[in-house]
Amino acid sequence: MQIARNPALADIRVEDDRTGLSIETLKRAFLDNLFYIQGKFPRLASKNDYYMALAYTVRDRLLQRWLSTAATYTENASRTVAYLSAEFLMGPQLGNNLINLGIYDAVKQAVEELGLDLDELLEQEDEPGLGNGGLGRLAACFLDSLATLEIPAIGYGIRYEFGIFSQGIRDGWQVEITDKWLSRGNPWELARPEWAVEVKLGGHTETYTDEHGQRRVRWVPYEVVKGVPYDTPLLGYRTNNCNTLRLWSAEAPESFDFEAFNSGDYLGAVYDKVTSENLSKVLYPNDNLSQGKRLRLAQQIFFVSCSLQDMLRILQQQQVPITDFAKKFTIQLNDTHPSIAIAELMRLLVDERGLPWDLAWQITQNSFAYTNHTLLPEALECWDLAMFEQMLPRHLQIIYEINHHFLEAVRAKFPNDNDRVARMSLIDENNGRRVRMAHLACVGSHAINGVAALHTELLKQDVLRDFYEMYPEKFQNKTNGVTPRRFVLLSNPRLSKLITGKIGDNWVRHLDDLRQLESYVEDASFREEWWKTKHTIKEELAAYIKQHNGITVDPYSIFDIQAKRFHEYKRQHLNAMHIVTLYNRIKRNPNIDITPRTFIFGGKAAPGYFIAKLIIKLINSIAEVVNNDPDVRDRLKVVFLENYSVKFAQRVYPAADLSEQISTAGKEASGTGNMKFALNGALTIGTLDGANVEIREEVGAENFFLFGLTAQDVYALRASGYDPSHYYHNDWELKEVIDRIASGDFSRGDRNLFQPLLESLLNWDTYLLLADYRFYVDCQERVSQAYRNREHWTRMSILNSARMGKFSSDRSVRDYCRDIWKVQPVKVSLDKQLF
């Protein structure tokens, strides 16, 4: 940005209606925005109008910081993190911006003085659900930490018109409803049509000789799509650094099919427009599954090419030579979804900027780093080669050339090892020819990381073993983290107040400071306050459940919560089997002494994932029976919370006593919900999987309910020939659970309904539920006993919160900055003369 000083504007007041933070100024600004932006006066305004007026009031205050940030970063030509992600699961913006600006209480009072309730206005916001789950939410937490740590950063992604579907529950089944999150307008974004770029698709390539006698390749595309950036400002916590989330929306290029237009085929031309816009139409709702669909590949190249062209524009605008690309930008690939960027940057540098291959490759490798988020083979992206070639003919040639150089290096390091060469090739020749995106990401990046210590070890030993042997120096661990701003301060104001009252508010930026709470563990009155706070929050969730589910739950019972995407490896059905176990015990002896529990589930299943949807139906079916059986006497309740989202998550984490983190060991890369629960004082029942391992190390084994097979046990059991029916026949209580589900007791006598699930468990049990069942149920019994001792439970709860400092995304991001990105903070001051 060129900043010209205009003396005529020099004496504009800074503390004005659009920037001032006093209650009076906020009120005036709010009414102005209601009038001039929403076009309403108070008597006719709806709650949504008030929300919008408030959002614009807050946005004005962000924009001042945003412009100062842009000016500062430009002046310093700061090294910038470009975080490339197909998903950003941001959650609602208003509350978080109030917190980070430090005006939450002032705004609450200002709207109250106008006769409004801030909580009701916050409720109005439709959250941008532009992600599936953990991976998208991690990207959002990282952006919050980057701004808070004053690191120049841009998040690049797709502005999906429809985010993750809204989930309804009808007759116990999940139904999907399209997510029209933009229907009432999005006050947080600014369209930047002046920075639109074009992306080519399809067609063929030609070689030619340029004016220097150099042989070059030209790509003649079949079609061109325009990408328009929409920017959302992201302010750090109590900093002036306001970074950018830049999301691309697909449009038809201006000159779309002009011939058809002139020849009178107006509708034909408009039809083409519709297909280009399809590129950013909808988020694929699969989590941890790659289906290899053409439109998905088109989405990936679309946002990646737009983002790289945008970086080249910034480079040019700041007059940085192209050869310094990797000095200006460090690009993080959030899984393989954006990994086509490696071939695209090579194309831009070699074909469009005329750089020699070797120099371009050096720049590319220096620019990229790759984060892997999965150990599941079905989640590793591979593209059918014919389809890939049809859409990206030039990229395929580039990948062949990268592969050629790479396989030569493999042969040099491991002579006479053809099997290894075939295993490592960027092209899989065995399963119908396919392009292996994880291999491209590994070869084209200077750093490769897993997201928890165990995950990184398993990558090195198993999924990426050959690459580890080839490039051991590239591999690093970066354990995930979550932002304490959204997931404690904003979502749990009661606990935050209690904590701040004891240790001050430094913990919000330095989460390790929570350790100071340890010294209050033996303080009985503090424990009492802690317990009461938790209890009040449970009462609030109970009221919500009453209102939305019509179920009465007992806030004195254990709130046992499993909230996450539905997937067999996450084993929600193991949790369901525990519920049926307790139900059977009650049916056998209605007077049995049982610790009351409320089982709460939340989460979506991918629309095409039949078994996951059947697990949702099973839970709802069990709920119907258990909640209404007089023998149960309200000691057990089962609740399914519809349409789990970030907004919802913020309600749920604070109210949990027990956090279910029960994936098959070796399957969950990290988990981040596990962190959000424990940070809010829930105890974990969990396997040694993902970050559970490290959480347990931090909080202490005595404050964590561990059960089940280890990743090594899982490998060994599979290798020795696992027979699930053995467990069925040798554990009568397990048999009784399966038999009751099979009997139709939970399906109004229908014995077929759950057969697909039960058959899969008895015949394959890919995720070893039957092997872990006894460990799990016995561990749950220890939980029930522990909960009966309120003092002891509260101690453990406090210690969980107090020792979770490591899992701040600030720590994660600092680690990336130090070991991978090599970036430094850049302070932004508000005194900057902007005009």
Q: In the complex, which residues of this chain contact ligand 26Q (CB under 6 A)?
A: 132-135, 138, 284, 286-288, 290-291, 296, 373-374, 379, 381, 451, 480, 668-672, 690
Transcribe 703-739 into DSSP letters: GSEE-S--HHHHHHHHHT---HHHHHHH-HHHHHHHH
Torsion of CA 21, 23, 25, 30, to 10 degrees: 100
Q: Is the CB of 607 or the CB of 825 nearer to ligand 26Q?
A: 607
* Least distance CB 302 / ligand 26Q (angstroms): 14
Start-to-end C-alpha separation, the chain: 12
* Least distance CB 134 / ligand 26Q (angstroms): 3
* Least distance CB 764 / ligand 26Q (angstroms): 21
The two structure tokens encoding residue 550? 């019509």
Q: Is the CB of 451 or the CB of 769 nearer to ligand 26Q?
A: 451
Closest to 395 in 3D by CA, of 323, 298, 281: 298
The one-letter code for the residue type at 688 is: L
Taking CA atoms, 635 is separated from 592, 630, 777, in Å, by 11, 10, 17
Q: Is the CB of 133 or the CB of 152 nearer to ligand 26Q?
A: 133
Q: Choose, from 226, 347, 373, 534, the residue flagged as catalytic.
A: 373
Closest to 781 in 3D by CA, of 658, 611, 672: 658
- Which residue minimizes CB distance to ligand 26Q? 134
Q: Choose, from 564, 635, 740, 803, the residue flagged as catalytic.
A: 564
SS (H, E, C) 179-190: CCCCCCCCCCCE
DSSP label at residue 288: S
**660: helix, coil or strand?**
strand
570 given a catalytic annotation? yes
Cite the DSSP H helix spans in 414-552. 418-424, 437-444, 453-458, 465-470, 484, 493-503, 524-549
User: How far is 639 from 194, CA to CA, in rounded Å?
Assistant: 49
* Least distance CB 515 / ligand 26Q (angstroms): 24
Q: Choose, from 79, 527, 604, 676, the residue flagged as catalytic.
A: 676
Are the CB atoms for 223 and 251 separated by under 8 Å? no
DSSP label at residue 226: E
672 given a catalytic annotation? yes
Q: Is the CB of 496 or the CB of 562 nearer to ligand 26Q?
A: 562
Q: Choose, from 565, 578, 604, 696, the residue flagged as catalytic.
A: 565
* Least distance CB 89 / ligand 26Q (angstroms): 9
Q: Is the CB of 227 or the CB of 338 nearer to ligand 26Q?
A: 338
* Least distance CB 340 / ligand 26Q (angstroms): 12
832 given a catalytic annotation? no
25 given a catalytic annotation? no
Q: Choose, from 570, 571, 578, 635, the residue flagged as catalytic.
A: 570
Residue 746, burial from CB neighbour count under 10 angstroms (0-12, 13-18, 19+):
buried
Q: Is the CB of 672 or the CB of 780 nearer to ligand 26Q?
A: 672
User: How far is 165 from 79, CA to CA, in rounded Å?
Assistant: 37
Q: Name the CA radius of gyration of the chain, rounded.
A: 28
Q: Is the CB of 290 or the CB of 797 nearer to ligand 26Q?
A: 290
Q: Is the CB of 114 or the CB of 380 nearer to ligand 26Q?
A: 380
Q: Is the CB of 496 or the CB of 659 nearer to ligand 26Q?
A: 659
- CB-CB neighbours of 716 under 10 Å: 12
* Least distance CB 372 / ligand 26Q (angstroms): 9
* Least distance CB 370 / ligand 26Q (angstroms): 13
* Least distance CB 479 / ligand 26Q (angstroms): 10
Taking CA atoms, 704 is separated from 696, 698, 774, in Å, by 6, 10, 18
Closest to 773 in 3D by CA, of 737, 825, 723: 737
40: number of CA atoms within 13 Å, CB side? 15
* Least distance CB 661 / ligand 26Q (angstroms): 10
373 given a catalytic annotation? yes
User: How far is 495 from 387, CA to CA, in rounded Å?
Assistant: 53
Q: Choose, from 232, 336, 672, 687, the residue flagged as catalytic.
A: 672
710 given a catalytic annotation? no
User: How far is 96 from 306, CA to CA, in rounded Å?
Assistant: 28
Q: Is the CB of 374 or the CB of 491 nearer to ligand 26Q?
A: 374
User: How far is 239 from 228, CA to CA, in rounded Å?
Assistant: 29
Residue 787, burial from CB neighbour count under 10 angstroms (0-12, 13-18, 19+):
buried
Active-site amino acid positions = 373, 564-565, 570, 672, 676
